[in-house]
């Protein structure tokens, strides 16, 4: 039978892209995930801050959704990032605590991650900024190929710092290499003992431009003493004041140079993590000192990325997600007047505790979603968590998660897009111990730890007795209802035990 030519041509055009894989699906949005560091719920204007101008974060909220009961997976950075990438609570795995700068990669190559899932869906993927999930294997040689790393768990390109600004090595890594390294000046890193002849803050306080308040007194880089010891790599060392600009530059290049396919870009801002050394153009922009000025710098970075989307005419079909890795902390290791100049500003808003805490301020963070083609402006009080992004975005791009992949990630896509206010039934909050949310109820099991983080002054939530709070009536967690409601304590304790024993929440 002869096939009419026009029908044959139609058939060829219809199946051609599917066969060749050359054409992307046009109904899949670009995804820009901006992840701030130590930014509290109360630090952002659209969440009530009046002391710190955040017009660009507020710009996302005005055109999108503002979530009021959104959570980081943990009250510290590394475990939150692990859960974000893997869809698995970090407390289920050993070795996922806050990592030193020379730690090995803690996400095993080959497992399903947020970027690898999006790669399978046809996305080009990039990671810019703070990483803090480890690199390479034990005893990594910083002067050679640095792998495995982001490229081995699903990213096509990366430009990152290994850990945090207060930890060595103080260099950038692009894909598998330290940027700007002079082979004649090799890098050595140690967290066990001093190496080389570099001065330390402990022995040379006169060489410091920022004095540590606790710890942070080892190798001096750029007049700031850090955690850990480093020698060599002088030509490759970063400049703290230009770090934010560098990340914006690299992220903007990624967006402008994207392939003809949708992109997923993860931007890990360093601000307002310590050391807080904003660029001179931001110094004095608030009355709160370096921490407030660093948040203004972070907001400017957000604005620059939004502007690039507009420049490239990508705004309407780009899903922008903005959030933070844990609650706020004021004194986290350096004397920068953040405490003295805090005034009436409440970095964690109405929530008690902060970074390192099982109280609400530890994990309840800003969470903004904008996708002009699909979302209407508004707010939502749905209970959601960053661990849910893997399953939710998998649904968005038509990818199926197999059993065991993203075991704690729940598909809340319709919630993220504002089509329903139904969120999680329950959520485990993590901070050197676990707490449980179900609805407006909050259980903190009894524990023997210190009630205050000795270095920062943040409340930890630790107490010998179980604590039970009804957040709808007591958002500040001040009235313990455990004695009055023993059945509720028993019920939530049993639920937490089931989750801890490995019962998947998805």
Q: Are residues 470 and 350 in the same domain?
A: no
- Say if residue 38 is in the same domain as residue 110: yes
Residue 13's pLDDT is 36
Domain that holds residue 138: 24-187+232-424
Q: What is the pTM of this model?
A: 0.94
Identify the domain boundary among 401, 424, 447: 424
98 located within any domain: yes
| Residue 414 CB partners (closer than 8 Å, separation 6+) | 420, 422
Q: What is the pLDDT of residue 20?
A: 30
DSSP structure class, residue 440: T
417 and 492 inside one domain = no
The candidate with the shortest Cα–Cα distance to 425, out of 384, 390, 485, 486, is 384
Shared-domain flag, residues 349 and 449? no
**Token couple for 89:** 């609570």
**What is the spatial distance between Cα 40 and Cα 324, in angstroms, rounded to a whole number?**
7
Q: Is residue 57 part of a domain?
A: yes
- pLDDT given at position 5: 40
* 46 and 162 part of one domain: yes
Is 11 domain-assigned?
no
Res 505: pLDDT: 63
The pLDDT assigned to 504 comes to: 64
pLDDT recorded at residue 454: 67
110: exposed, middle or buried (C-beta count within 10 Å: 0-12, 13-18, 19+)?
Answer: exposed
Q: Which domain CATH number covers 298? A: 3.40.720.10
Question: Quick one: how many helices (H) and strands (E) in the chain?
Answer: 9, 20
Q: Confirm if 366 and 72 have CB atoms less than 8 A apart.
A: no
CATH of the domain at 481: 3.30.1120.10
Angle at 256 between CA 253 and CA 257, to 5 degrees: 80
Say if residue 169 is in the same domain as residue 92: yes
Say what the pLDDT of residue 263 is: 98
| Strand arrangement, sheet containing 426-430 | 426-430, 434-438, 441-444, 467-470
Estimate the crossing angle of helix 290-311 against helix 243-256, to 10 degrees. Answer: 10
Please state the φ and ψ torsions of residue 181, each to the nearest 5 degrees.
-75, 130
**288: which 2 tokens?**
């709160």
pLDDT at position 503 is 64
Same domain, 349 and 319: yes
Residues 436 and 312 in one domain: no
Q: Has residue 182 been placed in a domain?
A: yes
Asked if residue 88 and residue 31 are part of one domain, the reply reads yes
User: In degrees rounded to 5, what are phi and psi of residue 450?
Assistant: -70, 140
For residues 164 and 133, the answer to whether their CB atoms sit within 8 Å is no
How far is the CA of 318 from the CAs of 175, 201, 255, in angstroms? Answer: 25, 45, 11
Flag whether 467 is in a domain: yes
Q: What is the pLDDT of residue 17?
A: 33
| Strands in 351-474 per DSSP E | 367-370, 378-380, 384-385, 426-430, 434-438, 441-444, 467-470
Same-domain status, 376 and 468: no
Looking at residue 260, what is its pLDDT?
A: 86
The count of structural domains within the chain is 2
- The H-assigned helical ranges of 317-438 are 389-396, 413-416
Question: Tokens in use for 41?
Answer: 């719920």
Q: Does 55 fall in a domain?
A: yes
Among residues 424, 442, 476, which one ends one of the domains?
424
Residue 474: inside a domain: yes
Distance CA 443, CA 104 (A): 34
Q: Considering only CA atoms, which of 467, 488, 487, 464 is closest in space to residue 476?
A: 467
Residue 456: what pLDDT?
81
Which of 394, 424, 454 is the endpoint of a domain?
424
Dig out the tokens for 275 from the structure. 């050391």
Which DSSP helix (H) or strand (E) runs through 245?
helix 243-256
Residue 71 lies in a domain: yes
* pLDDT for the residue numbered 506: 63
* 416 plus 432 within the same structural domain: no
Are residues 100 and 36 both part of a single domain?
yes
- As a whole number of angstroms, the distance between CA 99 and CA 76 comes to 10
For residue 60, give the 3-state DSSP assignment: helix
Q: Which residues of the chain have a pLDDT value below 50?
A: 1-26
């Amino acid at each position: 039978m002869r096939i009419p030519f026009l029908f044959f041509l139609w058939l060829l055009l219809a199946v051609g892209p599917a066969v060749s894989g050359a054409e992307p699906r046009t109904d899949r949005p670009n995804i820009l995930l901006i992840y701030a560091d130590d930014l509290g719920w109360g630090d952002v204007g659209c969440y009530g801050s009046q002391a710190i101008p955040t017009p660009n974060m507020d710009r996302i909220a005005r055109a999108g959704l503002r979530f009021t009961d959104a959570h980081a997976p943990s009250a510290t950075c590394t475990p939150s990032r692990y859960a974000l990438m893997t869809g698995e609570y970090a407390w289920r795995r050993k070795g996922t605590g806050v990592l030193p700068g020379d730690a090995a990669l803690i996400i095993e190559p080959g497992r399903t991650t947020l970027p690898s899932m999006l790669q399978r869906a046809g996305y080009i993927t990039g990671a810019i900024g703070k990483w803090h999930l480890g690199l390479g294997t034990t005893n990594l040689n910083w002067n050679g190929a640095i792998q495995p790393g982001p490229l081995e768990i699903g990213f096509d390109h990366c430009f990152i710092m290994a850990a945090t600004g207060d930890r060595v090595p103080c260099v950038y890594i692009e894909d598998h290499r330290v940027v700007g390294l002079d082979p004649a000046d090799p890098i050595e890193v140690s967290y066990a003992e001093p190496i080389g002849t570099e001065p330390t803050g402990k022995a040379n306080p006169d060489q410091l431009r920022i004095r540590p308040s606790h710890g942070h007194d080892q190798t001096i880089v750029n007049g700031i003493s850090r955690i850990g010891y480093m020698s060599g790599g002088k030509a490759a060392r970063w400049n703290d004041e230009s770090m934010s600009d560098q990340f914006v530059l690299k992220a903007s290049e990624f967006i402008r140079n994207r392939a003809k396919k949708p992109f997923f870009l993860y931007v890990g801002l360093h601000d307002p993590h310590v050391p807080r050394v904003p660029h001179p153009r931001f110094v004095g922009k608030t009355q709160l000192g370096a921490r407030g000025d660093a948040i203004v710098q972070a907001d400017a970075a957000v604005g620059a990325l939004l502007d690039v989307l507009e420049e490239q005419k990508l705004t309407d079909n780009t899903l922008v997600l903005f959030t933070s890795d844990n609650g706020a902390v004021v004194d986290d290791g350096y004397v920068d007047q953040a405490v003295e100049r805090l005034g009436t500003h409440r970095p964690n808003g109405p929530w008690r505790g902060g970074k390192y805490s099982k109280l609400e301020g530890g994990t309840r963070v800003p969470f903004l979603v904008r996708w002009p083609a699909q979302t209407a402006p508004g707010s939502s009080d749905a209970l959601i968590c960053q661990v849910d992004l893997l399953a939710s975005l998998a649904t968005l791009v038509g990818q199926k998660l197999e059993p065991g992949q993203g075991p704690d990630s729940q598909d809340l896509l319709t919630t993220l897009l504002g089509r329903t206010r139904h969120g999680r039934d329950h959520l485990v909050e993590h901070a050197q111990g676990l707490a449980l949310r179900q609805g407006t109820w909050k259980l903190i099991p009894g524990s023997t730890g210190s009630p205050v983080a000795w270095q920062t002054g943040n409340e930890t939530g630790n107490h010998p007795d179980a604590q039970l709070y009804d957040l709808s009536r007591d958002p500040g967690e001040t009235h313990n209802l455990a004695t009055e409601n023993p059945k509720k304590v028993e019920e939530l304790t049993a639920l937490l035990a089931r989750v801890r024993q490995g019962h998947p929440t998805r």
